[in-house]
Structure 1
Amino acid sequence: MITLTAARTRQARVRANGLAGDRAASVAEATRRAVGLQAQDVKACRLSVRSRTSGLVKSDVDKAVRERAVVRTWAMRGTLHMVAAEDLGWVVGLLGPYFAKGLFGRRRQLGLDEETTERGVRAVAAVLSGSRPLTRAELVARIAEHGVVIDPRTQAVPHLLGYAAMTGVICRGPGLERDEPSYVLTREWLGEQPVIAEEEALTRLAARYLAGCGPATAEDFAAWSGLPLGKARQGFGGLELEPVTAAGEPAFVLAGTELPATARKPEVRLLGHFDAYLLGYRGRALAVPDGFEHRIRAGGGMIMPAVLVDGLAVGTWRQVRRKDGLRVIVEPFGALADRVLPGLRDEVTDLGRFLGLPTEWELGR
């Protein structure tokens, strides 16, 4: 059995996730490699693409959405993700029913009983049929004309739209002015989606997860996907796996996986909010030093932008917009090794290139 130190386990994971080694050449490739990128924050989603690609700029992400190479919808853990367009049908078909069912009680509290929810989804589908992409406000106004009146000031609207997406009826369309989201009918935006049996979809998702996040365990897969542990184990059970000892714990990679050697120089990445790497496992103990979890998970469900060195968070960072450009303030957990600084400077430079802004940086406290 292969034994990996904590450092080599992190290196294997970031390389699998597209954060080290050869970077992807397109938005779709980067998204597919990570299986999906968190997308509730549009700006953060763009940054997730930047850290996994080479040579792209922020408008390339929006272009990929407009051209339907990638699409945003509710997927892993019932949260908004960007996935490759060809993956939407089977991923939502597998995961959506779990989260749609699990949120029934909350919908009922919001006045969306089963009958009202189904009427609402039918109204949304009727309104969007043959239509241009519509904003949330436009949808609320239009479905009211179909007899489904929902107070836009409540959480009932996002829960109705989330249910429609989890059942495959709608997905997010292209971003509009000021990144306002829009909604489209899935079948009109992407065409009819293939139907895949649950067992096959479970195995496929488990394989994609391990390819993009391994070494990992079924427990990690369950935490990342939101699936019940029994289903996660079933997905692993359909794969040809190679057991490894990763940071002292049993884990798996797909059979035939080539594990990377120790990197010659530090792989430094500036991760944005909610980066997939920090949400890919049942815990962050391997990626975040002991005593600093509160700096990464700052409360309210926020996962903060992180400075990553060979898969280990060594600090957080933030942007300060100025008239003459952007200032990046890096707030390390401790003293940064001299060998890390060239990679950090390169990352700040690349961030400015990606955003199209003159960029400077400083080390904060």
Structure 2
Amino acid sequence: MRVLSRRELNRTYLVRQLLTGQNTRTPAEVTAHLVALQGQESDSPHLSLRARITGFRPEDLGDLLHDRTVVRSALLRGTQHLCTAEDFRWLRPTLQPSLDRFAGRGGRLTGLDQGALVEAAGEILAAGPVGRPELTRRLVARFPGVDAEWLKLVVHLRLALLHPPPAGMWRHRGRVACVLAEDWIGAPLADGPSPETLVLRYLAAFGPASVKDIQVWSGLTRLRGVVAGLRGRLRVFRDEAGIDLYDLPDAPLADDDVPAPVVFLPEFDNALLGHADRDRIIHPGDRPLVTPGWSIVRPTVLVDGFAEGTWLVDGSALHITPFRPLSAKDRAAVEVEGERLLGFLNVGEKPEIHWGSEQPDVRFPNKPRRALRAADTEGPLPGGTE
């Protein structure tokens, strides 16, 4: 059985994640290829696409949200993601068992019939979109004495809801509305889960990968039997630790000398969260610098294909914090790409790049402190599992 080196996995991963600067796909095609874009923060999906598509503009994704080609909802690991409406129809039912399992941990709703809660929420939303705070208020009125935050979380996990624009739009910092998914999409969801589809789609963008990798990325458990059933349709490799890695038979493996441009990834990008073993993109020992807490995934700079630092924009300044000294050549390449990023962000007439060692605010690493109060209305639902 062929053993894939860490560098082979890195270069293959960059190609699969469309991070080699050679991508010509549309934003909708990239979103579908990646299965879902992490959307805990509204700007993150735009920055994820910008990292993968030359010439991407925020309005390109905004148009897809408005015409309902792309939708926003609680998906992988119970956190907010964007995916195509067509994929949502099979993806949400496939993830529902893990979302239900997580909702079942709502100990602060002990004694509450969650089925009755979901039914009540559906009745409220039948008339059309309702703001998340208003939906919570009306449900608390029906079920007094329960923990409002857990009530809100359980509704989002149990019921297939979407957050229509302006939620998910570039620079949106405001309240989020909820709408029933089938009403917004205009088509029914699949009758049941499609774990085989999930595995195959994952491998196209994240493979070669282990069963544990797929489970960590998706939040699902007990996928070993699904992968075993697909084994006749897959190639099997091993990594340097002897772990079996599965892949599609026609998916490309990249040479270890494929050029790797500097990339600025936003917080929570799934390129950093797509595996249990993240050594293919984060150097051993650096993982706590990227994910220092259970709900923190810092915006990261890739140099030669690996995370080599974090970044923060404050006003018109881009602050870059390397994990170790960079060569003069790499430092210059980071600054060139940083200037492009500042141009995309349109920070003002005098953008600046600063190098330092101070880590950014860990709750909202790309928001000035004055924006935290507004950001709380758009941020992660309680109980995220990043």
TM over 0.5: yes
The match for 1:58 is 58
Unmatched runs of 5 consecutive residues or more in structure 2: 358-386
The match for 1:231 is 223
- Structure showing greater relative contact order (alpha-carbon pairs closer than 8 Å, 6 or more residues apart): 2
Match of 2:165, SS state, is coil
Match of 1:277, SS state, is coil
Match of 1:159, SS state, is helix
2:214 matched to 1:221?
yes
**1:112 shift after superposition:** 6.5
The match for 1:8 is 8
Query: 2: distance between equivalents of 1:288 and 1:204?
Result: 28
Report matched runs for 1:134-283 at 5 Å: 134-143=130-139, 147-149=142-144, 154-165=148-159, 168=160, 170-175=161-166, 178-195=173-190, 197-198=192-193, 201-228=194-221, 230-235=222-227, 237-238=229-230, 240-249=233-242, 250-263=244-257, 265-283=259-277
Q: Go from structure 1 to structure 2 and tell me whether the alpha carbon gap of 1:345 and 1:189 turns closer, same or farther (over 3 Å shift).
A: same
Superposed CA offset, 1:17-70 (max 9, x none): 222242354332222121112112112232222212221222333332222121
Match of 2:324, SS state, is coil
Query: 1: distance between equivalents of 2:240 and 2:21?
Result: 21
Unmatched runs of 5 consecutive residues or more in structure 1: none
Q: Is contact 1:206-1:232 (8 Å) kept?
A: no
The alignment of Structure 1 onto Structure 2 pairs a total of residues equal to 349
Give the helix-richer structure, 1 or 2: 1
Query: 1: distance between equivalents of 2:140 and 2:321?
Result: 49
Q: Return 275-284 or 309-318, whichever deviates more.
A: 309-318
**1:2 shift after superposition:** 4.2
The match for 1:285 is 279
Matched to 1:110, the amino acid is L
Matched to 1:260, the amino acid is A
The match for 2:356 is 364
Give the strand-richer structure, 1 or 2: 1
Match of 2:105, SS state, is helix
The match for 2:74 is 74
2:121 matched to 1:124?
yes
The match for 1:332 is 322
The match for 2:301 is 307
The match for 2:371 is none
Q: Go from structure 1 to structure 2 and tell me whether the alpha carbon gap of 1:102 and 1:265 turns closer, same or farther (over 3 Å shift).
A: closer
Query: 2: distance between equivalents of 1:301 and 1:37?
Result: 17
The match for 1:109 is 108
Match of 2:11, SS state, is helix
Matched to 1:126, the amino acid is E
Matched to 2:133, the amino acid is A
Identical pairs, percent = 26
Q: Go from structure 1 to structure 2 and tell me whether the alpha carbon gap of 1:197 and 1:51 turns closer, same or farther (over 3 Å shift).
A: same
Matched to 2:180, the amino acid is L
**1:194 shift after superposition:** 4.2
**1:193 shift after superposition:** 2.5
Q: Is contact 2:260-2:305 (8 Å) kept?
A: no
Match of 2:202, SS state, is helix
